[in-house]
Amino acid sequence: MVGESKGEILFVTALGWEARQVLRHLSPPSAVHEGSARLWRGASRSPSISVLQTGVGPTLAGRAIRWAAPSVRPSVVVVTGCGGALDDGLAVGDVVVADEIVQAGEGAAWPTNREWSGRYERAAKAASLSTRRGRLYTSASILQSPEDKRGAAIRSGALAVDMETSAIAEWASGAGVELAAARVIVDTAGAIVPPELATITGPDGAANVRRLIAAFGKRPLLARDLGLLGIATMRCAKALGALHGALLAELRAGP
């Protein structure tokens, strides 16, 4: 059983490599597990910071936050990681700081904490990262084509898309917990996401080797497409690490 504490900051990511870009600036103990979710508990120092990896998609995100929250009892939940651009002006490695979260199909919207949005903007500037502030759209599935992304942009008025934040936002709203969100762009509005991606990866984003080999056999050019995505992912990870290094440095410095 994980020990309880009050008023923690809880960073939430979907994937392991995203979580590592926050964890590299911390010294938490090993993670506890529940299904696809992993939780690294924060130290007792102020501020106390924990990191939750949920797995991909709104269902796993909602399940993970309901599992972790009773132990962490966060005062603020900060959703971060990679995201897809819906705006043509965004490049790989750019930061989108969300001022509102909108959900696919439901018309629901949740505001974010202004103080934390300001922190993310200052951190992006300190890390020399281009940043935009606006809506973040949560989709239940990967938006694979430029046409898919264009349609989502028109429907939502959002700058970027992810697959987890609305589930966390819905929980936070019901629990009376502050919410913040920032995404680093990994695929641009004009990029095509390989359609095989959803079937060759598991809930944690890791590739299934057998499915990957089978997919290569059916479409050899998939190797090129995944290579390009891998390069973009490395650029995104570098930016994500720099962003959170600057953000955590400000938090430790205090007011």
**3-state SS track over 37-57:** EEEECCCCCCCCEEEEECCCC
pLDDT of residue 2: 43
Residue 40 lies in a domain: yes
The predicted pLDDT at position 1 comes to 34
The predicted pLDDT at position 3 comes to 41
What local confidence, expressed as pLDDT, does residue 185 receive?
94
d(C-alpha 162, C-alpha 57), whole Å: 8
Element holding 181 (H helix, E strand):
strand 178-187
pLDDT for 107 equals 72
CATH number at residue 226: 3.40.50.1580
Reduce the DSSP state of residue 176 to 3 states and report it. Answer: coil
pLDDT of residue 65: 96
Residue 2: inside a domain = no
* Of 136, 138, 163, residue with least CA distance to 56: 163
Any domain includes 210: yes
Q: Which phi and psi angles does 223 have, rounded to 5°?
A: -60, -40
* pLDDT for the residue 149: 92
Inside any domain, residue 158: yes
Q: How big is the chain by its Cα radius of gyration, in Å? A: 17
Report the number of distinct structural domains present in the chain.
1
In a domain, 3, yes or no: no
**What is the rounded distance in angstroms from the CA atom of residue 136 to the CA atom of residue 166?**
9
Let me know if residue 135 belongs to a domain: yes
Give me the domain span that covers residue 222.
8-253
Residue 42 inside a domain? The answer is: yes
Residue at 78 is within a domain: yes
Q: What is the pLDDT along the chain (255 residues), one digit of tens a residue?
A: 344 445 689 999 999 999 999 999 987 777 898 888 999 987 656 678 999 999 999 999 999 999 999 988 899 999 999 999 999 999 999 999 999 999 876 678 999 999 999 999 999 999 999 999 999 999 988 888 899 999 999 989 999 999 999 999 999 999 999 999 999 999 999 888 777 667 767 676 776 677 767 766 777 777 777 777 778 889 999 999 999 999 999 888 876
Q: What pLDDT, on the 0 to 100 scale, is given for residue 4?
A: 41
Q: Are 62 and 167 in contact (CB under 8 A)?
A: yes
Model-level pTM?
0.87
pLDDT at 43: 60
Classified as helix, coil or strand, 202 is coil
Alpha-helical runs (H) found in the chain: 16-23, 58-72, 114-126, 146-156, 165-175, 197-200, 209-218, 222-253
